């Protein structure tokens, strides 16, 4: 369980960014919105958060405490009946103790993305996030590859088949994904961050599936370097650790999508086809 209080505005804006760019990244995530009466006390808030920490500390979920004292309970792994059971538990214990009648609404963050986007933005109307420029990891001498990249980039919208790059240090997973797509696409692989940046500059792929956890640097370092050289790159990040903050961070840093392990082939194919549309738009 991760409880967001002081960080709630920044986290909610990051989630709104995810929803705006790619609602499918939040497929299977659910949000329970718990509202209150206007006269709810600070004591109620503390009791509610304490009860969550005590009774549900091992849950894989996000708890957002909003400035208006609403609570957003977000989880991917819990079933609907489990979420309602948790809601009933602390609503009975806290709202009733203070004479309050709590109200709840449950949203599928992918299917109900318009509602969720409005909800998140309405709760952070005055918040302006400070986003410092990321420090670029030193990938060594890559200047010599930039001329090659410029030529490859010019050919990107006209060449066939689409070029798909897989950045994954687990060789078994790399072979599995390559075997899935090699008959329909040109597949480029990299096992670490250094190879990923070099191969991107040499091939200007249509799409990159980029692991967050790499042996020599973070996938976010690779993402920053790719975006610095190609602002219209189409990068989909992935991780076995599908915490919501990983999804939010990936999209906020410039990724176009996020997939969780184990991979769903149909979802990956969807992103591949979307990347072709994306590049045609920017080269029209």
Closest CA to 132 of 253, 17, 38: 253
The pLDDT of residue 117 is 94
Cα separation, 282 vs 253, in Å, equals 19
Peptide bond into 262 cis (omega under 30): yes
Strand 257-260's sheet: what is its strand order? 186-190, 163-167, 207-211, 235-239, 257-260
pLDDT of residue 65: 86
In this predicted structure, what is the pLDDT of residue 90? 61
What does the pLDDT profile of the chain (284 residues) look like in tens digits? 788 888 888 889 889 989 998 998 888 899 989 887 666 677 767 777 777 777 777 777 888 888 888 888 898 877 878 877 777 766 665 555 554 556 788 899 999 999 999 999 999 877 666 666 677 788 878 888 989 999 999 888 888 999 999 999 999 989 998 999 999 999 999 999 999 999 999 999 999 999 999 998 999 999 999 999 999 999 999 887 767 888 888 888 889 999 888 788 898 999 999 999 998 887 75
pLDDT at residue 97, rounded to an integer: 53
Amino acid 234: pLDDT: 96
Residue 49 confidence (pLDDT) = 74
- All structural domains of the chain, each given as residue ranges with its CATH number in brackets, are 2-122 (3.30.70), 143-282 (3.40.50.2300)
Residue 208: what pLDDT?
97
CB 106 within 8 A of CB 81: no
Q: Give residue 38's pLDDT.
A: 61
Give the helix ranges, DSSP H, for the chain.
Answer: 8-21, 42-55, 80-90, 113-122, 143-155, 171-181, 193-203, 219-229, 244-252, 265-282
> Do residues 16 and 120 lie in contact, with contact meaning Cβ atoms separated by under 8 Å?
yes
- Contact criterion met (CB below 8 Å) for 271 and 250: no
Rounded Cα distance between 233 and 223, Å, is 9
Q: What's the pLDDT at 249? A: 85
């Amino acid at each position: 369980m991760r409880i967001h209080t002081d960080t709630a505005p920044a986290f909610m804006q990051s989630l709104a960014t995810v929803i705006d760019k790619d609602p499918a990244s939040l497929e299977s995530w659910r949000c329970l919105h718990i509202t209150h009466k206007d006269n709810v006390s600070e004591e109620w808030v503390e009791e509610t958060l304490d009860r969550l920490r005590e009774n549900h500390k091992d849950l894989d979920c996000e708890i957002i405490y909003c400035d208006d004292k609403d609570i957003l309970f977000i989880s991917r792994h819990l079933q609907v009946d489990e979420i309602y059971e948790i809601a009933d538990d602390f609503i009975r214990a806290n709202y009733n103790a203070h004479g309050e009648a709590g109200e709840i609404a449950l949203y599928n963050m992918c299917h109900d993305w318009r509602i969720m986007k409005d909800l998140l933005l309405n709760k952070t109307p005055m918040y302006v996030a400070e986003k410092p420029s990321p420090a670029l990891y030193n990938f060594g001498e890559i200047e010599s590859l930039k001329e090659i990249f410029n030529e490859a980039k010019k050919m990107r919208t006209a060449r066939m088949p689409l070029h798909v790059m897989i950045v994954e240090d687990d060789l078994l997973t790399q072979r599995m994904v390559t075997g899935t797509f090699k008959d329909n696409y040109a597949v480029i692989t990299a096992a670490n961050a250094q190879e990923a940046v070099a191969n991107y500059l040499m091939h200007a792929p249509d799409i990159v599936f980029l692991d967050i956890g790499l042996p020599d640097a973070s996938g976010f370092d690779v993402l920053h370097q790719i975006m610095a050289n190609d602002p219209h790159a189409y990068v989909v990040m992935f991780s076995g650790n599908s915490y919501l903050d990983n999804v939010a961070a990936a999209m906020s840093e410039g990724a176009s999508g996020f997939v969780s392990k184990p991979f769903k082939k149909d979802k990956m194919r969807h992103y591949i086809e979307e990347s072709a549309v994306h590049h045609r738009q920017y080269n029209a």
